[in-house]
Amino acid sequence: MRTIDWVDGAVELVDQTALPGRFHVIRIDTVDGLVDAIRRLAVRGAPALGVAGALGVALAARDETDPLSAAARLRAARPTAVNLAWGVDEALGHLDGGFEAVLGRALRIRDEDVEACRAMGERGADLVRELTGRDRVRIMTVCNTGGLAAVERGTALGVVRTLHERGQLTEALALETRPLLQGSRLTAWELGRMGAPYRLVADSAGPFLLARGHADAVLIGADRIAADGDTANKIGSYALALGARRAGVPFVVVAPETTVDLATPTGAGIEIEERDPEEVLSVRGARLAPEGAHALNPAFDVTPHDLVTAIVTERRVIRPDRGERP
Ligand code: MRU
C-alpha cells in the first residue's frame, strides 16, 4: 500500500482523517485541493508532505496559469516540516522542462522515500540493539511515523516494523498524541495491521513509564532537524526526551536526510505551527471545555540536541550526545 501516489493524472492519498474507522482513498487534481488536504491533515507526516509538495508542483505545472504562485501556496500550507518546502523546491527546479520533467522529479522523490525508509529501518534496528544491548526490546514512540507518514514503511515506526519482522520487538508503547490523536488513531492502526504487540498510553504517562523502566528506547521521527541537531517533532517529544535522559534510556530520532535543514542553525529558528485552538477544546467534534475557554495549540516542539542520543538517516548515524552535528 502506498499512502500517496500519482495515479492516472491525479494525486491519490489515503485520507488520514477517516482512519481508523474508514480506509478511504481520495483523488485530488487541483493545487488548492491538495493545499486543503495538507492543512486538514488528510495527508501528513514530514516525508509524505515532501512527496505531496512535489506532486502538487506537477499539478501546477500542468494546470495553473501561474505555477510559481501555486507552488508558493503549497509551500506555505504547513510551516514546520521542512520536507514540504524541500519537495516543492526540488520539483520547481524542473519547471523549465515542463510538466513531464516536474512529474519525473516528483516520482523520483516518491521512490527515494521508499528506499530511504527501508534503509532507516535496517540501520535503526541495528542501532537499537547496539544501544540497548538487548535481543528483544520495548520501544516508546509518539505521533505517527509509519507508512502513513511516508510513502510506505515510515521512519521511527519503520524501525519498529523492522524490529518486529526480525522477532526483536517485545512491545511498542505508543503515546496517544493529543490533540489530534495520531498515536491512538494511526499508529495503533498500523501496529495492529503489522501484528505487532502494542499498548497505547496517555501522553502524560510517557516520562513516568520511562522512569519505571517500561521501555528500552524511545524512537521518534522529525519534522525538521537544525544544523546543530536540535529536532522539531510532534508536541510531547521534548517531554519524552527529558524523561528518557533522566531514566538513562536512549532517545533516537529517525528521519531522512531531507529533514535535515542546514540553513537553520539552531532549533530556535524553527517555526512552530500553531493550530486551531478548537482542536484542544474539543475531541473529534465533541466540545469538552466550557463555553468561553481559550486554548494554545502548538503542533510541534523542539528537543535540544544534547538530549538526543542518535539521529538515524538512510545514510548515517549521527551522535549529538558525542558532539557530532548533522
Ligand atoms: O502534525 P503531523 O501529524 O503532520 O505531525 C507529524 C509528526 O510530528 C511526525 O513525527 C513527523 O512528521 C515525522 S513523520 C515520519
DSSP assignments along 185-229, one per residue: IIIHHHHHHHT--EEEE-GGGHHHHHHTT--SEEEE--SEEETTS
ipTM passes above 0.85: yes
Distance 81 CA to ligand 1 centre (A): 8
For the Cβ of 217 lying below 6 angstroms from any atom of ligand 1, the answer is no
Instruction: Give the H or E element holding residue 35.
Output: helix 31-39
For the Cβ of 157 lying below 6 angstroms from any atom of ligand 1, the answer is no
Residue 138's pLDDT is 99
Asked if residues 206 and 243 have their Cβ atoms less than 8 Å apart, the reply is yes
Per-block mean pLDDT, blocks of 10 residues, the chain (326 long): 96 98 98 98 98 98 97 98 98 98 98 98 98 98 98 98 98 98 98 98 98 98 98 98 98 98 98 98 94 98 98 98 94
Of 79, 81, 29, 82, the C-alpha closest to 56 is 29
- The b-or-e profile of 263-273 (16+ CB within 10 A means b, else e) is ebeebeebebe
C-alpha cell at 82: 521542512
For the Cβ of 233 lying below 6 angstroms from any atom of ligand 1, the answer is yes
Of 237, 210, 209, the C-alpha closest to 221 is 237
DSSP code at position 257: G
DSSP code at position 7: E
Kindly report the protein residue whose alpha carbon is nearest to atom 8 of ligand 1: 234
**Which residues, including other chains, have CB under 8 Å from residue 162's CB and lie 6 or more apart?**
121, 122, 124, 125
pTM: 0.98
Distance 99 CA to ligand 1 centre (A): 29
Cα–Cα distance between 51 and 83 in angstroms, integer? 8
243 annotated to a ligand binding site: no
DSSP code at position 90: H
Kindly report the protein residue whose alpha carbon is nearest to atom 10 of ligand 1: 221
Of 235, 186, 237, the C-alpha closest to 210 is 237
Residue 5's pLDDT is 98
Residue 1's pLDDT is 82
**Which residues, including other chains, have CB under 8 Å from residue 275's CB and lie 6 or more apart?**
179, 297, 298, 299
For the Cβ of 223 lying below 6 angstroms from any atom of ligand 1, the answer is yes
Cα–Cα distance between 156 and 162 in angstroms, integer? 10
C-alpha cell at 250: 536512549
The atom number, within ligand 1, closest to the CA of 233 reads 8
Asked if residues 250 and 322 have their Cβ atoms less than 8 Å apart, the reply is no
Look at phi and psi of residue 261 and say left if phi exceeds 0, alpha if psi is from -120 to 50, else beta: beta
Distance 37 CA to ligand 1 centre (A): 15
Identify the three-state secondary structure at position 121: helix
How many other C-beta atoms can be found within 10 angstroms of the C-beta atom of residue 120?
28
Asked if residues 250 and 307 have their Cβ atoms less than 8 Å apart, the reply is no
Q: Which domains does the chain have, with CATH numbers?
A: 4-112 (1.20.120.420), 121-322 (3.40.50.10470)
C-alpha cell at 20: 481508523
Among the listed residues 113, 216, 223, 228, the single catalytic one is 223
Q: 223 an active-site residue? A: yes
